[in-house]
Structures are given as C-alpha cells and as structure tokens.
A and B are shown apart, each in its own frame.
Chain A
Amino acid sequence: MKTPGKWALFQFLSRWFPPKKSSERLLLSPPRFKVAVPGLNVTALKQMIEQTETDELDCDQVFVLLDQYAELVAQNKDPAVLLPQVYRHLKRCPDCQEELTALLLAIQTVTKT
C-alpha cells in the first residue's frame, strides 16, 4: 500500500487541527480574564446599574471623539471638563478605555521619536 506523502499528511492534519493565526500565537495572557467567572463582583455590578445616566454616549459616538480626547490627555488638559460625556463613557466601557490607552501609547511614541 502506498504511504501518504508529507503534504497529504499536512493537509489531513490541517483539516482537523487548523494552524493558529499570528494574532492567536502572539497573544499575551489576557488581563481581563481576571474579572471572569467564578464569583461576580457585586459592588461593580451595583455600580454599573446605579451609575446609568440619561445622556450616555455609545461606543460609536465615543470613537468619533477619541482622537480629540487623546490629544487633550497628551496635552495635560482636563478631558473630564472638556469632554465630560466621553470621560464618563470611558469609565464604564473597558473596550473604549483599552483603545484610548493604546492610542496614547502610540502617539507618545511617535512624538518622542
């Protein structure tokens, strides 16, 4: 019986064990898994509900203003006063907060070099 070649074996294995993408292979351990189950943070949940406001911006609206907000932070201006709705959204939205942190790191690096 003819034995399968390496390429055929690779194709067979790839079907069942697809190779990971670069984004998966290089990923560092996720810090936000710390807040995952088990054991919910009751205080945080209570705050999440209690701090609901009538005039909140959503993530898409905040994204439009995020570059302006980042520059205010980079210039040591007070965005809580200048863009208060964005400031409050960032306090309750981890995704947007992550994007702001990354943006600040990027523009600081580019300014330095």
Chain B
Amino acid sequence: MTERDNSRWVLDLKEKGKKRTEALRDLRAELLRGLPAALASWVRQDSREFLSLCEDFVQEALLLILQNLEAFQGLSRFTTWAHKICIRVALSELRKARWKDFSLDNSSEIFESEGEDLEQKMMLSWLKKMIQEELSPLQQRALTAAFQGVSGDVVAQKLGISRGALYKLLYDARCKLKKLFDQTSVGRNAP
C-alpha cells in the first residue's frame, strides 16, 4: 500500500486513471481492515456472509467518500475520516435491521409505572400529561421513541427527516419540558 498524506489521498482520488484506481484499492483495503473490529459487538463474524456484508458496506462508503471529497477539512487523518463514513454506512443499515419491527406509534402505555415508588409514579404521570398537552404530535412520537431507547437513525428514517433535524425536534421538546419542569415542584425529590 502506498503511503499517502491527506492531500495526496485527496489528489489521487480526484485524479482519473491509474492513480485513482490505486488509491481506491488502498482505501478499500484500509476500510476492510478496520470494519470487522468496529462491528464486533454488532454482527456475527464467523461466516463468509460477513465478509460479503463488509464488502457491501465498504463499496457504499467508497461511493460516498468520492462524492464528498470536498467536505474533508483535514482536521484528522484522511483515513480516519473515511472510516467514520464507512461506520456510519454500516451502523445505519444494522440499526434498520435491529429495529425492523419497531412501529413509531404514540404509545402512552410506556408511562404506566409498574414500580411502587409514589414520587416516580407522580413524575411519570406529570411527564405524560405535559407531553400530551404541550408538545406537537411529531415531538410526542419522537420523544416517546427516544424514551424507549430506539435509535435516532431509525426514528428519523420513519419520520422522513435527517438525524440532525430529529435532534433539533427533540431538543425543542426537551427545552419546553425543562421550562415546565422548572416551574413546577413535581419530581423535586425524585431520584
């Protein structure tokens, strides 16, 4: 593999012909070396199918990298930036698979406390009331999913918005709840 600094990587990938082919081959090998470790806690790695899955992720990542070369600011090594894109591709796909059967409904039963703690029950019922009365239907659905630990990637996809837009939606909801929370005495002594 040819040693390259950041500007060399970008120049070679922008070139046409042999240099670009070699740079793509080297970058593919680099990403394939790192990806199995990155996915160790996500997928079984004891089959050929895993290698083929990695190849798919890397191919998709290479396309994205080529399309977004201008976005590379040189704040890290080029290869770290490329690994970041490859991991985003892989985890987005795996999250979709993990949460395949999740439906984004506005289920209020998650606020039904099974515990005995009175303060916790009060807190939950206050939260449920505020969410239903003060937040928009979209914020309600997104926040309920967030409370259940559902991946933001999956929620954003189901709502048809970007992850950044989902974060903003949830941020506005949290700001509103925080303001209401500060105005009441509910949950002051809760854990």
**A26 CA to B29 CA, complexed, in Å:** 22
Q: Contact: B149 with A35, CB < 8 Å? A: yes
B53-77, CB under 8 A of A: which get 1 and which 0?
1001000000000000000010111
Partner of B114, one of A38, A45, A94: A38
**B contact residues around A99 at 8 Å (CB):** 84, 87-88, 91
The chain B residue with its CB closest to the CB of A21 is B97
Chain A residues within 8 Å of chain B by Cβ, number? 54
B137 interface residue, CB < 8 Å from A?
A: no
User: Helix, strand, loop or mixed for chain A's interface?
Assistant: helix
Chain B residues within 8 Å of chain A by Cβ, number? 75
**A contact residues around B163 at 8 Å (CB):** 58-60, 95
A61 interface residue, CB < 8 Å from B?
A: yes
Partner of B37, one of A24, A64, A105: A105
Most B CB contacts (10 A, CB to CB) among A31, A37, A64 go to A37
The chain B residue with its CB closest to the CB of A71 is B76
**A107 CA to B38 CA, complexed, in Å:** 9
**A28 CA to B43 CA, complexed, in Å:** 5
Most B CB contacts (10 A, CB to CB) among A48, A70, A99, A106 go to A106
B154 CB to nearest A CB, Å = 9
B47 interface residue, CB < 8 Å from A?
A: yes
Please report A residues at the B interface, Cβ cutoff 8 Å: 21-28, 30-40, 42-43, 45-46, 48-50, 52, 56, 58-61, 63-68, 70-71, 93-95, 98-99, 102-103, 105-110, 113
Known A-B contacts: A60-B167, A107-B34. Give 5 more (CB < 8 A): A23-B93, A49-B177, A67-B84, A70-B80, A108-B37
Please report B residues at the A interface, Cβ cutoff 8 Å: 30, 33-45, 47, 49-50, 52-53, 56, 73, 75-77, 79-81, 83-84, 86-88, 90-91, 93-98, 100, 109-115, 120, 123-124, 127, 146-153, 162-164, 166-168, 171, 174-175, 177-178, 181, 187, 190-191
